[in-house]
Amino acid sequence: MQLAYSLNRLGVDHAALSADDAPGGMFRKWPLFQRMLSWTKPYTGFQPGSREFERHDWNSLAGDEPAHRGLMASVMDGTSYFPSRPEMQRGLELFAERTGLRIRYGCRWEATRREGDDFVLTTSDGEYRAARVVFAVGVAEPWKPPTPGLEHAAQYGELRPVETYADRRIFIIGKQNSGFEIASGLLPLARQIILASPSSTKLSVNTHSLVGVRARYVQPFEDSVLAGGVVILDASIEEVKRAAEGFDVRVRTTDDKPLQFLVDDVVAATGFTTPLRDLPELGVTTFGQSGLPAQTHFWESISVRGIYFAGTINQGSKGLMKHGIPSNSGACQGYRYNARVLARHLAEKQGRSVQIPVIAAKEVIPLLLREATLGPELWHQRSYLARVISFHPDRGILDQGVLPLAHFLDDAQFDGATAITLESNGKQDLYPVVYVRHASKVHETRLDDDPFLNFETAKHRADLAHALDPLLSPSLSQPRT
């Protein structure tokens, strides 16, 4: 939906197909325990519908006009700043209504083939032909490892009604967000919950990022620490067997100690895969447990040109991964901005010229610092998307807008340019970083962090001016006449 909207705004003709019967199809069944992980704060000091509001709204799609922005806040009932599943569904329906999106619903993609320079999609409504195709099919199919007996375990999305788990011992395989979501949902009912996987649990509050279990789901962790009814183990699962009354689960801890658990239920929260159908047979390279397609900085398959990806699959374009911290492309607040960048890229591929504003030298420092302080793209896609300004002796200073940081650093066209982004090292609060490309070299300057997250102070202005000195010289910042 986000990409279709952004393509419409750029005047790019396209066909948008969805197997769902209506907008928000995913949110008619998931998340399992009804509330999102991501928040939308109604009171932020900024008007809903403003660009600045988006920094605090992780769930609305990103519109270009006030009437298209910040729609989730208008449909939430105020009982939580985490939208419920029906509220998320309604927010997407409202976006489709307000923007007049033309999407063919109930149209299932079935097969793909190549004919000359085009791709041909076979769908439930006939064939579609195009030189470029974008797949936004999600990382949506539950996956199980080949552990003996694991076929007996229920998966995420297959759980019985919650009340049927009352007074039962439940073994959950997996200690990522989905495992802790299930544990949190069953905590008021279950007699005991065991969570196990080989890797230790990371918490987002410790990594200073979205890496790790989100704070909303840490109650089972506290229950374990305080010796309640939860056990959290670092252990590999060796076998799951049917028992006379329930299941016999055999594990081996990371210090090589075998353990046995007799439980009533086993749940596999072991991750999800990407439903790419026949794309790998067409040559699309994938990697990792989730089968993500390997992608360029502009979310194009590295092995089959003309095939692009949008939505949660954007995780396959890793970016710099500075300090080991990934992008937020797996969530709406990240991929909505990727889609805008991708739409511009596709428009340029179609031969459409995209306006690049010329700005005055005196605007450069205020613009960059304001973006660091309020720009939602930088806040939500740290070390991944950047605001870019280029300096040309003939054309003057050009505001290139938001682009992938890795593209800025890799492409020689940006020699004589600067980019600002927000970064986190996993230990401290976030801070701005300025990259300057000049004379075929890249200079990186970290600006100070700020307890009030204000990066427009006199100190920030002075430090940024010093970093930009090679570019802001009169010979580079003034166009020739």
| Paired strand residues for 359 | 397
**What pLDDT does residue 477 have?**
47
With a cut of 90, say whether residue 64 has pLDDT above it: yes
Token pair belonging to 315:
């995780």
Q: Residue 323 corresponds to which amino acid?
A: H
Please give the residue that has the higher pLDDT: either 354 or 400.
400
Please give the residue that has the higher pLDDT: either 209 or 339.
339
d(CA 299, CA 479): 34
With a cut of 90, say whether residue 35 has pLDDT above it: no
| Paired strand residues for 403 | 386
Sequence-distant (6+) residues with CB within 8 A of 287 are 294, 316
The answer to whether domain 145-269 has CATH 3.50.50.60 is yes
Cα–Cα nearest to 187, from 195, 197, 196: 195
With a cut of 80, say whether residue 475 has pLDDT above it: no
342-347 average pLDDT score:
97
**58 SS3 class:** coil
**What pLDDT does residue 382 have?**
95
d(CA 168, CA 54): 42
In this structure, of 27-31, 163-167, 242-246, 253-257, the range with the lowest mean pLDDT score is 27-31
d(CA 419, CA 273): 34
Query: pLDDT exceeding 90 applies to what percent of the chain?
Result: 86
User: Is the CB of residue 40 less than 8 Å from the CB of residue 76?
Assistant: yes
For residue 203, the Cα-to-chain-centroid distance in whole angstroms is: 18
With a cut of 50, say whether residue 480 has pLDDT above it: no
With a cut of 60, say whether residue 414 has pLDDT above it: yes
With a cut of 70, say whether residue 90 has pLDDT above it: yes
Mean pLDDT of the chain: 94
**What pLDDT does residue 478 have?**
52
With a cut of 60, say whether residue 290 has pLDDT above it: yes
19-27 average pLDDT score:
88
Please give the residue that has the higher pLDDT: either 312 or 28.
312
Band of pLDDT at residue 481, cut at 50, 70 and 90:
very low
Q: Residue 332 corresponds to which amino acid?
A: C
User: Is the CB of residue 211 less than 8 Å from the CB of residue 325?
Assistant: yes
Domain spans of the chain, in order of start:
145-269, 358-477
d(CA 152, CA 242): 8
SS3 content of the chain, % helix, strand, coil (to 5): 30, 25, 45
Which pLDDT tens digit goes with each residue over 126-149?
999 999 999 999 998 889 999 999
